[in-house]
């Protein structure tokens, strides 16, 4: 497996693969890889002849007061995980390789990006759509793999691919959790021991909502209230949002029916964690 840092070096390799008729899978990540990322890579390896993992902490998707500079990074550890999972290349560019200093073209999206994480992170999805479009143009994959963990991001990428006619299949992959239910995230490393315990309230509260819906509850407000109440029992938790939306268009639901996404964002201390359940 190779670590490649420039577009110039990557393109001829991919063109060579395509000339041989090989299929290419892409797994976009921001690095500091864990078993959640690994599940995407393993799936990509099982469905494609060649797999590229991008490992890039994308500055344009961070707001001014967010954790761009402190975001954890460890390319050597990432490389070992990618190699073990069967990837062929890690694409690990510097920000200067990805963005011209006088860049002035961005990919933006209306509607789907305005609620949930888009409310507190107004520039986030423009950064995500822009970097993912660039990665799609650089890697030209047949398939690209995204986690359900970032459910809004997955819906946004699917919509962008549809609206802009990218000839790429988007594959959504289930959330990987720790044995105690906490969804794996690179940001979990920010949590101290007490916060790590407190973070269990996310999955616990979502499970309460899930069980209500599975038992037939149709009233959005009742489910939202039960989840909110449960989250409020944890003193270290501060709610950013509890939303119940249509999982495809991210629009609020009046009554719970099929394709429902229950998504939450919660600060545990200073760390903002997201989690969701789709029914």
186 binds ligand AMP (CB under 6 A): yes
Q: What's the rounded Cα separation, in Å, for the pair 273 and 38?
A: 20
Closest CA to 47 of 23, 81, 28: 23
Contact 156, 124 (CB under 8 A): no
37 assigned to active site:
yes
44 binds ligand AMP (CB under 6 A): no
Q: What's the rounded Cα separation, in Å, for the pair 206 and 186?
A: 20
CB 218 to ligand AMP: min, Å: 29
CB 152 to ligand AMP: min, Å: 10
- One of 109, 176, 206, 277 touching ligand AMP (CB under 6 A): 176
- Contact range with ligand AMP by CB under 6 A, out of 98-106, 143-151, 196-204, 230-238: 143-151
Total residues in contact with ligand AMP, by rule CB under 6 A: 17
Q: What's the rounded Cα separation, in Å, for the pair 121 and 4?
A: 30
- One of 88, 150, 195, 243 touching ligand AMP (CB under 6 A): 150
Residues 101-140 binding ligand AMP (CB under 6 A) are none
- Contact range with ligand AMP by CB under 6 A, out of 69-77, 179-187, 194-202, 249-257: 179-187
- One of 62, 146, 166, 190 touching ligand AMP (CB under 6 A): 146
CB 153 to ligand AMP: min, Å: 6
- Contact range with ligand AMP by CB under 6 A, out of 70-78, 182-190, 205-213, 260-268: 182-190
- Contact range with ligand AMP by CB under 6 A, out of 129-137, 147-155, 160-168, 261-269: 147-155
130 vs 220, beta carbon nearer ligand AMP: 130
Q: What's the rounded Cα separation, in Å, for the pair 144 and 24?
A: 9
- One of 38, 121, 149, 159 touching ligand AMP (CB under 6 A): 149
CB 253 to ligand AMP: min, Å: 23
228 vs 241, beta carbon nearer ligand AMP: 241
Q: What's the rounded Cα separation, in Å, for the pair 241 and 119?
A: 9
- Contact range with ligand AMP by CB under 6 A, out of 1-9, 119-127, 141-149, 246-254: 141-149
Total Cβ atoms within 10 A of residue 143 = 18
> How far is residue 198 CA from its own chain's centroid?
22
CB 175 to ligand AMP: min, Å: 4
**Residues within the interface to ligand AMP (CB under 6 A):** 29-30, 36-37, 39-40, 146-147, 149-150, 173, 175-176, 183-186
The set of catalytic residues is 37
């Amino acid at each position: 497996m190779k670590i490649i840092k420039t577009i110039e070096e990557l393109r001829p390799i991919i063109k060579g693969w395509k000339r041989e008729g090989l299929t290419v899978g892409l797994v976009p990540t921001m690095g500091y890889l864990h078993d959640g990322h690994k599940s995407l890579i393993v799936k990509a390896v099982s469905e494609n002849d060649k797999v590229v993992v991008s490992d890039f902490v994308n500055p344009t998707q961070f707001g001014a007061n967010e954790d761009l500079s402190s975001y954890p990074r460890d390319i050597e550890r990432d490389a070992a995980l990618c190699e073990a999972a069967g990837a062929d290349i890690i694409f690990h560019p510097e920000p200067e390789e990805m963005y011209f200093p006088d860049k002035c073209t961005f990919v933006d999206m209306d509607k789907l990006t305005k609620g949930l994480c888009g409310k507190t992170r107004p520039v986030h999805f423009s950064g995500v759509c822009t970097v993912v479009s660039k990665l799609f143009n650089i890697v030209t994959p047949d398939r690209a793999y995204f986690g359900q963990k970032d459910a809004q991001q997955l819906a946004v990428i699917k919509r962008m691919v549809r609206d802009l006619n990218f000839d790429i299949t988007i594959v959504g992959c289930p959330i990987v959790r720790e044995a105690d239910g906490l969804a794996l995230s690179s940001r979990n490393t920010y949590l101290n021991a007490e916060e790590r315990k407190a973070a269990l309230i996310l999955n616990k509260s979502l499970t309460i909502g899930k069980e209500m819906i599975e038992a037939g509850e149709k009233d959005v407000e009742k489910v939202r209230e039960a989840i909110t109440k449960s989250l409020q029992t944890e003193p270290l938790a501060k709610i950013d949002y509890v939303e119940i939306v249509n999982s495809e268009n991210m629009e609020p639901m009046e009554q719970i029916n099929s394709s429902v996404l229950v998504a939450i964002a919660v600060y545990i201390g200073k760390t903002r964690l997201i989690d969701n359940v789709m029914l």
